[in-house]
Chain A
Amino acid sequence: MDSSSNDSQFRLTLSEVTVEVNNPKDKARTQQEALTYPASFAKPLVVQPGDQLNIAFVLMKAPADATEAAKGVRAHQSFIVFRPQPATDAQAHLGPLVQSFQSTTSGKHRVNLIAGRFSRYFSRQPGAYDVELILGVFGAVTPIRYRLGTIDFDFPLADPTDPAVVDDEAKRAKQRALEGPPDAEYEALPEIVHQFRPAEHMPPVLFSLGYSAVVLLPWPILLALWKWIGIKPTQWPKTPAMLVTHGLFFGGISGFIFLYAAYWIKLRLLQTLAYALPLAIFTALVGRVALSDVAHRRVQATKSE
């Protein structure tokens, strides 16, 4: 019997469990049992066609570490299952009787089963039934499965020639035909376990650092080539103001490179664009002045030639 439900965050228990069988017309038939979860009946109860079966309990929820007192909680799914035992081959097709029942937010649950309403079911297979409560609560992976015990349904065996029984049997036979034979291959598949991709092969850190230095080698080659080609000092701006403008222009371009590096390391795209907009306006303005100066000097030099 699986009569407990635990998960990592809270623990579910039942309290004040009472099971009562009574007959409004015969008070002498009243049978009552108070159970302590997860215990079952000491001896089977007997239910007859005119009886009512009343089951009441409070579902309690408490933190797994017991830091808070338990409090009542509603079961979001609640079922009572009557499972015939032992089921003969001839009766096996009846299957269990499953009924859902309502609950309250305070955690109080109540099952009121008027046995006479199910006489068609129980009279076709009178005898002992295992009674089990199944309670599901959001957040609990495992439901509570509480076996209450055995109830003997003392019902007169139905007459197989009774038109109602014949009609019911015909309906069940039709349903069985629709469902087909039980599928022997239908079974739970193995649990799907996430497969992590193996870590990518990475070169040693020393190799990466060394190769970073190698990739920088073209820089001194570039500088050496530029020095070899030669840059005329006369090409520098003539006035200090223009020198500052040129410096600001190249500063703006350098600012973009630093901004992109910051974008790579920590900034988001919209933040980067917000910084880039004023920087672009500034660089465009000083760039226009600086390049106009270059163009002016180029034209002057052409005229002087």
Chain B
Amino acid sequence: MAAGNTKSSQPLLVQLLRDYRATTDRRVQLIDAYMVFLMLTGILQFAHIFLAGSYPYNAFLSGFSSTVGAFVFAAALRVQTNPRNTPSTKSISPERAFADFIFCNLLLFLAVANFLG
């Protein structure tokens, strides 16, 4: 039964990936890859706590919050640059959204460097 489920789910995942590649804007895909990168980095930082403890805690908080913050900004950029969302974000051009994304990230990383210790 379980083997049958695995077999049937494989084509489903492949189909999902194929549809995603076909129907999603390339720029959005680039942002999605960046968000996967941030998520993996955050997971590895969090795993470090269980393996080696949380000391120095401010360094962990800085690193982890930088990945979380960057993920949120990337999600905002994805919303604003996705052509499917154009009706709701018509007043914001993708270039303007990218400039906002850069500005917010620079502020975030300044705060992170300040808290890093």
Contacts and interface: CB of A to CB of B under 8 A. Distances in A.
Q: Does B bind A?
A: yes
Nearest to B62: A264
B26 interface: yes
B36 interface: yes
A253 B102 CA distance: 8
A287 B36 contact: no
A232 B102 CA distance: 22
Interface in B81-117: 93-96, 98-99, 102, 106, 109-110, 112-114, 116
A295 B33 contact: no
Given A214-B44, A292-B95, A222 B33 contact: yes
A163 interface: no
A229 B29 contact: yes
Contacts of B95: 291-292, 294-295, 298
A186 B96 CA distance: 75
A257 B109 contact: yes
Contacts, number: 79
Contact of B53 (A201, A291, A292, A294): A201
Interface stretch (A7-15, A113-121, A203-211): A203-211
A260 B52 contact: no
Contacts of B114: 263, 269
A65 interface: no
Q: How large, as a class, is the contact surface on chain B?
A: 20 to 34
A222 B52 contact: no
Contacts of A260: 109-110, 112-113
Interface in A120-135: none
Given A257-B109, A264-B116, A291-B95, A218 B44 contact: yes
Interface of A: 200-203, 207-208, 211, 214-215, 217-219, 221-222, 225-226, 229-232, 253, 256-257, 260-261, 263-264, 269, 272, 276, 287, 291-292, 294-295, 298
Given A200-B53, A256-B109, A264-B113, 11 more contacts: A207-B51, A217-B40, A217-B44, A218-B37, A218-B41, A221-B36, A221-B37, A226-B33, A230-B26, A260-B112, A295-B94
8 closest A-B pairs by beta carbon, nearest first, are A225-B33, A203-B52, A222-B37, A218-B40, A291-B95, A260-B113, A200-B55, A295-B95
